A and B are shown apart, each in its own frame.
Chain A
Amino acid sequence: EVQLLESGGGLVQPGESLRLSCAASGFTFNTYGMNWVRQAPGKGLEWVSGLNPGATNTYYADSVKGRFTISRDNSKNTLYLQMNSLRAEDTAVYYCVKPLPVGRWLQAYDYWGQGTLVTVS
């Protein structure tokens, strides 16, 4: 059974940093590109960042480029999101998401974690 378990969320002040983690299990983690998607309170979904299986290519939404860094440790089946210079508008639930098992980088997401709430205030 595929499981994605996020952790690391919390309340921080503007300008501070936070590191999110996503522990993955139930699939061959090192063969999938992985992504983060966020959802501000009462709002819609926004893709934030992604990286390929070997972590050689990373991708970011314009809204977080230069402030967030995505990474992974395939030996630990874990995805990370380092968030620096946090702003009030970064307040959201952050989901770790797994794409469909098709080789193309851009994909629909067939598994989502339960999410971790980041509050910047």
Chain B
Amino acid sequence: EIVLTQSPGTLSLSPGERATLSCRASQSVDSSYLAWYQQKPGQAPRLLIYGTSSRATGIADRFSGSGSGTDFSLTISRLEPEDFAVYYCQQYGYSPATFGQGTKVEIK
């Protein structure tokens, strides 16, 4: 199965700053099949990005995704207070679908 490694484990930033999260795959993933989720404490994950760069319904345009092959990233252009959460990448190009271990974005 494809292993996704996210970095950094924790990102400490202030509101208004730019956040860049990385997701590296153990083998090449079709860029059509890479997603990002946000999870807040006590809540279910929420789909942010699919197909590497397509925003899900209702997702603010400060969230953007990019990448190809084995290296993908999620960028939050200007952090809002509600953006402090854990973020997971997912590949769904190969079965089984797999998730990264998560990056926590915390308030500095």
Contact = CB atoms under 8 A, between A and B. Distances in A.
A112 B93 contact: no
Contact of A109 (B33, B47, B94, B101): B47
Nearest to A95: B44
Given A113-B44, A115-B44, A45 B99 contact: yes
Given A106-B92, A106-B93, A108-B35, A44 B47 contact: no
A74 to B, nearest CB: 23
Interface in B54-108: 56-57, 88, 90, 92-102
A44 B46 contact: no
Contacts of A95: 44-45
A45 B92 CA distance: 13
Interface residues of A, number: 17
Contacts of A46: 99
B26 to A, nearest CB: 15
Interface in A25-83: 44-47, 59, 61
Size bin of chain B's contact surface: 20 to 34
A12 interface: no
Contacts, number: 48
Contact of B46 (A59, A112, A113): A112
B44 A114 contact: yes
A95 B39 CA distance: 13
Nearest to A109: B47
Given A44-B99, A95-B45, A112-B44, 13 more contacts: A44-B88, A45-B99, A47-B96, A47-B97, A47-B98, A47-B99, A59-B95, A59-B96, A100-B50, A108-B35, A108-B56, A108-B90, A112-B45
27 contacts: A44-B88, A44-B99, A44-B100, A44-B102, A45-B37, A45-B45, A45-B88, A45-B90, A45-B99, A46-B99, A47-B99, A61-B96, A95-B44, A95-B45, A100-B50, A106-B33, A106-B93, A106-B94, A108-B35, A108-B47, A108-B50, A108-B51, A108-B90, A109-B47, A110-B47, A110-B56, A115-B44
Interface of B: 33, 35, 37, 44-47, 50-51, 56-57, 88, 90, 92-102
